[in-house]
Amino acid sequence: RNLGGKLGESVAQLLNIEYMGQLRAFPEPQLQNTFGEKTGNWLFDLCRGVESEPVRPRHLPKSIGCSKNFLGTQALRSCEQVKHWLQQLATELEERLEKDKEQVSLLFHSIYPN
């Protein structure tokens, strides 16, 4: 986590390692000298499973929707076209609601098992 991009490349190259577990072999002072005091401390703790960042709840969406614009030559010109697209949008919305319901169900079953 958080070791992708430039920091991850730097850690891998400078220490000649591939995996987080390999980082544990380096003493804290060496990590501080190589990456600076703050980042060195953070890397030392992180590879040992120590994380001081608080857990933040993920908020559930307040609304779910779908839409489509029909501009210019795509403008709907008949009731049949409108009915067709209402059906398409309703189907897409139903799929999104079902997916959300599954995710919420999994979330609450894992937090509050029956």
Buried b (16+ CB within 10 A) or exposed e, 35-55: beeebbebbbebbeeeeeeee
Does residue 36 carry a pLDDT above 70?
yes
Does residue 33 carry a pLDDT above 80?
yes
Residue with tokens 């609450």: 108
* 53-102 pLDDT tens trace: 888 887 777 788 899 999 999 999 999 999 999 999 999 999 998 888 88
Rounded Cα gap, residues 25 and 16, in angstroms: 12
pTM above 0.85, yes or no: no
Grade residue 104 by pLDDT with cuts at 50, 70 and 90. confident
Rounded Cα gap, residues 89 and 82, in angstroms: 10
Give the whole-number percent of the chain exceeding pLDDT 90: 61
Residue extents of the structural domains in the chain: 5-46, 72-111
Domain 5-46 has CATH 1.10.150.20: yes
